[in-house]
Amino acid sequence: MTLQEALLVAVRGLRANRLRSALTILGIMIGVAAVIVLVSLGNGTSAKLNEQIESLGTNLVGVFQSRGNVSQNGRSQPLTDKDVKALQNAGASPRLLSVTPVKQGSAVLEVNNKSWRTSIAGSSTDYLSAFHRKLAAGRFYTDAEIRTSERVVVLSKDPVKKLFGGNNTSALGQQIRIGRQVFEVVGVLADNGQADDLAVMPITAARNYLIGGGGDDEVDTIVVEATSQDTVPATMAKVDRVLMTQHRITDPEQKDFEVRSNLELLEQFTKQSGIFTLFLTTIAAISLLVGGIGIMNIMLVTVTERTREIGIRKAIGARRKAILKQFLIESTVLAGLGGLVGVVVGVGVSLFAGALGPSALGDFPPPVLSPMSVLVAFAVSLAIGLFFGAYPANRAASLRPIEALRYE
């Protein structure tokens, strides 16, 4: 019997019980489609996460004041301008592209009887490059303005929207009240989908007029730019060394600051989204397994129903293998059809959900179809046909012809 003839026999067998075959196919179809859709949802989520983290910059190292540890003298030393200076003068191996201090807080912005509370970031002129930000309009403040703690501010998207109706040009040059002082809007940041509710100003102005008692030299965060993603670990070690010397700490357990990188964040997210995808895939795989059990069940019923046919085939000379092959092909065709329809449905749903755009999916990012998962899901459906068909087919092949012929 050629494979083509065997397939024909299998299809004829399946057509004899259309509804039953269709329901069994449905079981596999749902499993395969679920694997494809859930894997592409998982992929979409991790792609979105990676994109977000990479837009923040993967070569950034952040230094924060430690909340837990205190140094030997019992006082946690804050990060200060001296630390920034020390890092800026730290020299090569590896070179630090930039060292940017940030002083954070919040304040209410007021203009034309409108008000809006937003985050305040006081920083140096390296702020733009360190945070991968761009200007949408106007200019950034200058080093000269930092020295004279000029009351100038660069707004981001949200405050411009709330105070000036989203019109960047009408915001420029405007005098707005921040706290008890009047600032001039000199620029507007391009939005990056992350930190869009923000006002940036010279660190000196922030200290003198808004955050802290004024005149002190504390900073909340120091952002260090490594030369590349690869030099991040070396850069972190170096920052550690410099600041330990600076704070006169010898025991690393006693550090009163923390050094973290986006790379760590990226790795952590990648690991977590990997677990998430695995979790989704496992759920889908279980439904595929259930579909396989459905195939086994139906094939057992089929073999029992067709005991007499098996007897006839054996009586006129079918070998054990021929019967085995017949039923294995039948179960594999059943599973393969389910797999095929499942691929069409799974790919269709993934593409359709992607085409609908993010709004239709709520907070879910658009699914990213993985050709590998499509291939694997289809191959697994065939394997399920073989695996779950093996027991029923073996049962059929082992029937004794005399008894099978006598079966009513």
Partner 1 sequence: MIRLDRVSKVYRAGEVDVRALDRVSLSIQRGEFVAIMGPSGSGKSTMMNILGCLDVPTDGEYQLDGVDVASLDDDQLADIRNQKIGFIFQAYNLLPRNTALANVELPLLYAKVAERRAKARAALAEVDLAARENHHPNQLSGGQQQRVAIARALVTEPAMILADEPTGNLDTASTTEIAELLTRLNRAGRTVVLITHEEEVAAVARRVIRLRDGRIIDDTVIRARVGSPG
* Minimum separation from the CB atom of position 314 to partner 1 (A): 6
Which of 60, 103, 96 lies closest to 80 in space, CA to CA?
A: 103
The distance of Cα 251 from the centroid of its chain, to the nearest Å, equals: 37
* Minimum separation from the CB atom of position 15 to partner 1 (A): 8
Residue 7 found at the interface with partner 1 (CB under 8 A): no
Q: List binders of partner 1 among 16-55 (CB under 8 A).
A: 16
Residue 375 found at the interface with partner 1 (CB under 8 A): no
Nearer to partner 1 among residue 21 and residue 381 (C-beta): 21
* Minimum separation from the CB atom of position 13 to partner 1 (A): 8
Identify which range of 12-20, 54-62, 74-82, 296-304 contacts partner 1 by CB under 8 A: 12-20
* Minimum separation from the CB atom of position 20 to partner 1 (A): 15
Identify which range of 95-103, 254-262, 387-395, 399-407 contacts partner 1 by CB under 8 A: 399-407
Nearer to partner 1 among residue 4 and residue 250 (C-beta): 4
* Minimum separation from the CB atom of position 21 to partner 1 (A): 14
Tell whether the torsion through CA atoms of 157, 163, 164 and 166 is positive or negative: positive
Nearer to partner 1 among residue 248 and residue 400 (C-beta): 400
# residues contacting partner 1 (CB under 8 A): 22
* Minimum separation from the CB atom of position 10 to partner 1 (A): 12
Nearer to partner 1 among residue 79 and residue 399 (C-beta): 399
Residue 13 found at the interface with partner 1 (CB under 8 A): yes
What x/- string results for residues 308 through 337 when contact with partner 1 is judged by CB under 8 A?
A: xx-xxxxxxxxxxxx---------------
Nearer to partner 1 among residue 10 and residue 377 (C-beta): 10
What x/- string results for residues 284 through 313 when contact with partner 1 is judged by CB under 8 A?
A: ------------------------xx-xxx
Contact residues for partner 1, defined by CB under 8 A = 1, 5, 12-13, 16, 308-309, 311-322, 401-402, 405
